[in-house]
Chain A
Amino acid sequence: MIVLEPWETRRAWLDWASPLIAIALTLVGGGLMFWVLGQSPLEALRIFFIQPLTSVYGVSELLLKATPLILIGIGLSLGFRAGVWNIGAEGQLVMGGVTAGAVALALYEVESIWVIPAMMLAGIAGGMLWGAIPALLKTRFNTNEILSSLMLTYVAGLFLSLMVHGPLKDPDGYNFPESRLFHDAALMPTLFEQGRAHIGFVMALIIAPVAAFLLSRHVLGFQLRVQGVAPNAARFAGFSSKRLVWLSFLLGGALAGLAGMMEVSGSVGQLVPIISPGYGFTAIIVAFLGRLNPLGVVPAGLLMALSYMGGEAAQIELGLPNAVTGVFQGMLLFFLLSTAVISDYRIRWRARV
């Protein structure tokens, strides 16, 4: 029978080879699917993976879409390392967007370079506040955080709806559920002439190594890791598990809230009833695809963003339905996740004992 045995010494090249094998498998599997759908496999794959990257605009939009995924993915990977299950980053993102948007509207006529930092702080505060609720319930009343954080996501969406239908509605907007367009001072500075990529992506690139350092070198990171792997040992060592729950939720909420601020300020430029196409959930995949390593989250976020943009390109260029994107993404992820096995284990054939 086939058995999987851990490598006695890890083969570093396999860490690189396994994603390549996954991509090769995706090319074969995806190509087959496109062929079944009556498309030229090579052309379809080119449009999915290459086309979005062939223009400055495309690259810029890719960075824009990857930014919230990376930011949230970093925050989640810290918490998941400690075994704290924050499933509600989507809600924390939305609340961060609402608070940041409220600040932008309150400072509507103010033309100052401090508007953006103020919005960022507000977004971070909003996300932290929403993350603090499950943390409080968990540490004070032992309420499972999976349920509370997930349920609060729906509440946040309805709260945003209430706000844009009510107090934050554009007074000159014929009562449509949208805020005013933000003033230029409240829009994220962009990186390129084309597209909407903004300095948030650069911030994500800075935050990733900082978080990686925190996790691998700092005592807090050590505590987070021990808590996740061996909670009993963490208790004996005197780490406060409550503090780690708080830390995980506040960090995760802060980064999700910041991502929410960047969506309203950088991507949309106003408050609308929908400010995220599910980034908070997609970021959970990104966190694990990056193997809960903040540095790994960066390429994982870029890849997920690319797969969404490829789906749009496939609709425009090939007339494929949107549903194909989901199937193709699922396939890509299945291959990526299951080929990871070869970097951790050697596959051997052994006679039955």
Chain B
Amino acid sequence: MQVTKWMAAGVAALMSVSALAADPLKIGFVYVGPVSDGGWTYEHNVGRLAVEEAYGDKVETTFVESVSEGPDSERVITQLAQSHDMVFTTSFGFMNPTVKVAKRFPNVKFEHATGFKRADNVATYGSRFYEGRAVIGTVAGEMTKTNIIGYIASFPIPEVVRGINAAYLAAKQVNPDVKMKIVWVNTWFDPGKEGDAAKALIDQGADVLMQHTDSGAPMQIAEQQGIYAFGQASDMKTFGPNAQLTGIIDDWAPYYVQQVGKALDGTWSNTDTWGGFNTGMVALAPFGDAVPAELQARALEIRDNIANGNLHPFTGPINKQDGSPWLADGEVADDGTLLGMNFYVEGIDGSLPQ
């Protein structure tokens, strides 16, 4: 009994090894933007290249870029599933199409970024970018002289709202007088509009900018006007060599390499990964020269404390914008609330559509 089991396992292992040698694991990536966007999609593509680098001819990767989140996505995902063993869909809007297609292709492994629906062959992953926001919020709170931080936001989705709240709370902690001005541009990507928003915020007194949009335009404006800003998604130092204090980098490579590795050795399962500093999915860009050494050290300490679990960016007491209590003293936000966050914390002006 035992022997036959072992033998079967050995044969299976042999077969999978020979299958590997003959047939590379084919992996497809669906991107929402162009690879050349320099931000969100660019970083996912860096992750794809890391997979190729790590596994060489054991894998073969394909990507389809600029896939609209509307009617086209289901077809693209299906077409990839027909000829691939594993498919990464890298935008929230691909969630329902991914789950739908996965039902029809039970032997294909799917990985969907930033969603919450899983199935036997659908894993989800996302990054706790808000951890990075807490660090840059601290830096911003210390660096601002006008006590006004400008925030260029894209769409009022939980991900973005979470970032605003985390940054504000961290800045407020080190600088009780700090104000945050928020401008929604209703686009992920329009350098002209993002630049205009940056100027509007600077004109209203902001001397540190944060952005949750993809282009380097706000960083350029910050550089031109001699103020500070933080990179988004990629290191944006080329856009603002003096302006960039640090930045939040999306590093998908470790996760992609790990998951593809699991698919290769047969240990893949439909996990839910929401990784932060601890997994390397969120990283900081090198500090700019303007950040004093003492502040750099403090920022890194916050990062390390978040990474090892000693510090949670959303720790009570925290009230909601309308003054109603959200977290009691010492209470830590649960992931469910964070995932669906659609309210500002106390002290932020403006309103979100409900």
Contacts and interface: CB of A to CB of B under 8 A. Distances in A.
Interface of A: 57, 61, 64-65, 158, 161-162, 165-166, 173-178, 181, 196, 263, 267-270, 272-277, 308-309, 312-313, 315-316, 319, 321-323
B354 A166 contact: yes
A176 B83 contact: no
B92 A176 contact: yes
Given A175-B340, A312-B79, A272 B70 contact: yes
Contacts of A166: 353-354
Nearest to B338: A174
Nearest to B114: A176
A175 B70 contact: no
B61 to A, nearest CB: 9
Interface of B: 28, 34-35, 62-66, 68-72, 74-76, 78-80, 82-83, 92-93, 96, 100, 116, 155-158, 186, 336, 339-342, 352-354
A230 B65 CA distance: 47
Given A162-B353, A316-B62, A322-B65, A181 B71 contact: no
Contacts of A158: 186
Contacts of B340: 173-176
A257 B274 CA distance: 40
A267 B80 contact: no
A61 B63 contact: no
Given A174-B336, A177-B157, 14 more contacts: A64-B71, A65-B72, A165-B157, A166-B353, A175-B157, A178-B96, A181-B96, A196-B75, A268-B74, A270-B96, A274-B69, A274-B93, A313-B79, A316-B83
A322 B62 contact: no
Contacts of B28: 316
B65 A315 contact: yes
A275 B34 CA distance: 19
A275 B71 contact: yes
A319 B342 contact: no
Contact of B68 (A175, A274, A316): A274
Contacts of B83: 316
B96 A312 contact: no
A274 B96 CA distance: 14
Contacts of B75: 61, 64-65, 196, 309, 312
Contact of B63 (A181, A268, A315): A315
B80 A316 contact: yes
Contacts of A177: 155-157
Please give me the 4 A-B residue pairs with the lowest Cβ-Cβ distance, nearest first: A267-B71, A174-B340, A277-B68, A175-B342
A270 B69 CA distance: 12
Nearest to A68: B71
A57 B157 CA distance: 34
Of A162, A273, A322, which is in contact with the most chain B CB atoms at under 10 Å from its CB? A322
